[in-house]
Structure 1
Amino acid sequence: MLLYKPSEADAGYLVPILTKLGSMAVADITPKLVRELGEELYPEASTDTWVRHVVTPVRSVINNAHDLGHCAPIRIKGYSKEERVAQDLKRGRKSRVKKTPGSWEWLLKFRQHAPRRHAALAMFMFMTGARISQAVAMHPDRHLRLDQNMVCIPAAKGHDDRWITVPQELVRELASLPRLYPRGFDRTQDNLRVFGFADRSSPRKGWAKACKLAGIDLLPFHAAGRHGFGQEMNVRQGIDEKAAGEFGGWSDTSLMRRTYTHAEQTAEKIHEAQLRGLRAAEERTKLTLFNAGASKKKERA
């Protein structure tokens, strides 16, 4: 463990794992033991949580030691669909619940009742695809060049800092924000934040209140922002996924397509497509679906 430098999140996940495994030799840690440890440590969690909180951190620590020449690597398979469904039944909750992505309609209603910082935050995430952790970390001097219509999305998920050009509407919104310090922070230059929040949890109370006052669904930050961006660009506006992926910070556009786009108005779209096909066929054949000739043949039969 001392050889591995975990992220802040992984460090938190490793504490209960180390408490349980103690000084057990790496050679004695089997894939089966790790998979069973998920249920033991988090009996009310989903199998996806077991992967994130147990399987991934353990695998990272051991394989890091392997890279340094200290032990053999470990391969731990994920949980099957059957195991996921069984655990969902056991805990009485469904995992992988379909997300409702943000939209312009939702954003406009939200902004009517949201505090200024929350309104700007929601608009920023929806228009850039930024994650909440990236948005709240932004510093007005280090991450904004509003005179050039540019903002810097802080590094995350294997991506470096990214400078992108944003539309004038977003520039205007960001320029209207005062210079803000998160509550409890010393008023020093380094502690300034674009949106004035201390961490990703800080906007939650005001966010929920605004949704209630607006009478709209309480969308989580990620659904309202990053999922909303992916849906708006790829599904509603039909922007090519290469452009949307580059702007939104997806190196794997297939991941964006699989995870960040959602079916909308399914029946209506299918019905319209079917009718378009029918009308085109009728035009080509000069026949109609319920043409008189077919009806007369049916009557004679």
Structure 2
Amino acid sequence: MSLTTYKRGRIWHYRGTVAGRELRGTTKATDKGIAQRIAAELEAAEWKRHLDGPHAHVTFAQAALAYLEAEKPDRFIAQIAAHWKDTLLREITGEGIRQSAFKLYPTAKGATRNRQVIVPTQAIINHAAGLNWCQPVRVKRFPVEVKVKEIVDPEWAEAFSAHASPHLGALCTFMLGTGARAGQAVALTWGGVDLTAREANVPLSRKNNEEHVVHLAAAVVAALEAIPSNRKPDELVFGYERRDSVWQPWKKAVERAELPYRSPHCCRHGFATLLLRAGVDVKTVAARGGWKDATVVLRTYAHAISDLTVTDAIFRTKSAQNPKIKKSTAGKERKKSS
């Protein structure tokens, strides 16, 4: 869409999209003819910058390489780079990225296409935009069917632990009580645990490159104390070298307990869901569980409660029960009636 001019007060302004870039501003002119000439010159200058500027011929392959050299996540990048190859960045559109998702994952659902195509492709191009190589790109995400996450709750964890080894049972309880991911939990050493202070230093994860201290509830402390161990500082608390080592014994323990299957990650789901149900605010849940973005917690775990009577809680608040407020309100009503 070319630039169009419109009047605001006495001054003419311009707006529109040129070469994929949205432009708007003031011509500072009061004469319509002059304003149109200024808009035309701005449009021509933008096309020249787009087609002949110093970075007009940067390819997706070059942008992907720069992205990886900046130590950004490399998941899914190889397939995306193979698809776009030497396509110029200025030729890649949001709709083009959506179409690439169909080609790369023809049978996948929207969530997979968003996660494995749209998000990393957009990240690469927008990283290049930060280097002034191109303009940022906007991509409409595919619709995603939001499902309520299956969770591990204390009852499930207790039944599971009764049919698991002390190490595995403690791992389940620890993840439920701290929100730690499986990879973080198996990397925990006794040097990072202080049972007296009831704290643990949760290690890094691939999604969160910051360590964070977590509180250990009484049930978590009891489970950790039940692990047979010399508790040497460099000894792994749960005894598993990798998170992949957990899956098979976990599955067998679930079968022995005759429980509905819940993966280890369902403990993290339980951590967030149960805290939200208990009335803990989203930002606090995110901070305690190691989520950098509270909107992830809100979008994933804050499901609406189906009980219609939940609105009764409004009238159980402190202000509604405060006798001073009630007395003051009653006094005002008496004055009005008199």
Give the TM-score normalised by structure 1. Answer: 0.70
Q: Residue 151 of structure 1: SS of its match in structure 2?
A: strand
2:108 counterpart of 1:45: yes
In the alignment, structure 1 segments of 5+ residues that lack a partner are 85-94, 181-188, 278-301
Q: Which residue of 1 aligns with 2:300?
A: 259
Number of residue-to-residue matches in the alignment: 247
How many percent of aligned residue pairs carry the same amino acid? 30
Shift of 1:211: 1.3
Of 148, 151, 170 in structure 2, the residue corresponding to residue 120 of structure 1 is 170
Q: Deviations over 1:51-89 (max 9, x none)?
A: 11111111111111221222222221212x3xx5xxxxx
Question: Residue 227 of structure 2 aligns with which residue?
Answer: 177
Bigger relative contact order, structure 1 or 2 (CA pairs below 8 A, ≥6 apart): 1
SS at 1:163 equivalent: strand
Matched to 2:82, the amino acid is T
Equivalent position SS for 1:2: helix
Whether the aligned pair in 1 keeps the contact of 2:178 and 2:215 (CA below 8 Å) is no
Structure whose alpha-carbon radius of gyration is higher: 2
Name the CA distance, whole Å, in 2 between partners of 1:136 and 1:253: 25
Match of 1:208 in 2: 251
- Name the structure where strand makes up a greater proportion of residues: 2
2:200 to 148, 151, 159: 151
Alpha-carbon displacement from aligned partner over 1:21-79 (angstroms, at most 9, x marks no partner): 22222222222221111121112221111111111111111111221222222221212
- Contact kept, 8 Å, 1:134 with 1:155, in 2: the verdict is yes
Amino acid at match of 1:133: G
Select which of 76, 89, 109 maps to 1:13.
Answer: 76
Matching residue's letter, 1:202: S
Equivalents in 1 of 2:247, 2:71: separation in Å?
A: 21
> Who is 1:103 aligned against?
153
Structure 1 position 172, deviation (Å): 3.6
User: TM-score under structure 2 normalisation?
Assistant: 0.63
Q: Distance in 2 between matches of 1:238 and 1:52?
A: 30
- 1:283 is aligned to none
User: Aligned AA for 2:227?
Assistant: L
RMSD: 3.2
Deviations 1:74-117 (A, max 9, x none): 221212x3xx5xxxxxxxxxx54332222111111111112333
Match of 1:90 in 2: none
Alpha-carbon distance, 1:146 to partner: 2.8
Which structure 2 residue ranges, 5 or more long, are not aligned? Answer: 1-63, 316-338
1:28 to 91, 116, 126: 91
TM-fit CA distance, 1:151: 0.4
- Measured in 1, the distance between the counterparts of 2:195 and 2:284 equals 22
Query: 1:189-268 maps to which residues of 2 (within 5 A)?
Result: 192-223=235-266, 225-235=267-277, 237-241=278-282, 243-250=284-291, 252-253=293-294, 255-262=296-303, 266=306
